[in-house]
């Protein structure tokens, strides 16, 4: 199976978990920073964000699969764009959804990969490996931007 097909299939599998993760992450950050969201409600949002309702092992699997899936999508997308640029001479095309996808993916590639990697590292390190508080704080700062 080629990279383009893998990229497409994985993106379709991850679209709902990514929408859930993104929406709850934004709701948490804006709620806590701008709207004074209570810590109790914020904890509920984080439990939904990390799929804690799946149990301890399910939560770990969910976080790792979604995080690594995002990293794979980011870098497989980069290779697809590089191939397209290197293999074909650039010609003016009509402005369509693919062009928007290529432009946006180029802009968010690095922040998205850093956010996914630091989120997975934080979750595994802090909750399962006893990561020191100072290191966990750095990972969370990078994760939140």
pTM above threshold 0.85: no
In angstroms, the CA 22 to CA 67 distance is 12
- Domain locations in the chain as residue ranges: 3-144
Residues 83-121 pLDDT 10s: 666 566 566 566 677 777 777 777 888 888 899 999 999
């Amino acid at each position: 199976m080629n990279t383009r097909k893998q990229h497409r299939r994985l993106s379709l599998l991850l679209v709902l978990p990514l929408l859930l993760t993104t929406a709850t992450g934004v709701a948490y950050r804006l709620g806590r920073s701008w709207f004074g969201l209570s810590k109790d409600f914020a904890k509920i949002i984080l439990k939904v964000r990390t799929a804690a309702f799946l149990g301890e092992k399910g939560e770990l699997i969910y976080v790792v699969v979604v995080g690594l899936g995002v990293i794979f999508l980011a870098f497989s997308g980069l290779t697809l764009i590089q191939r397209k640029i290197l293999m074909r001479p650039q010609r003016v095309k009509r402005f369509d959804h693919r062009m928007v996808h290529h432009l946006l993916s180029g802009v968010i590639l690095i922040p998205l990969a850093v956010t996914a990697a630091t989120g997975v590292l934080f979750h595994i390190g802090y909750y399962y490996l006893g990561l020191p508080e100072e290191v966990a704080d750095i990972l969370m700062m990078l994760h939140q931007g």
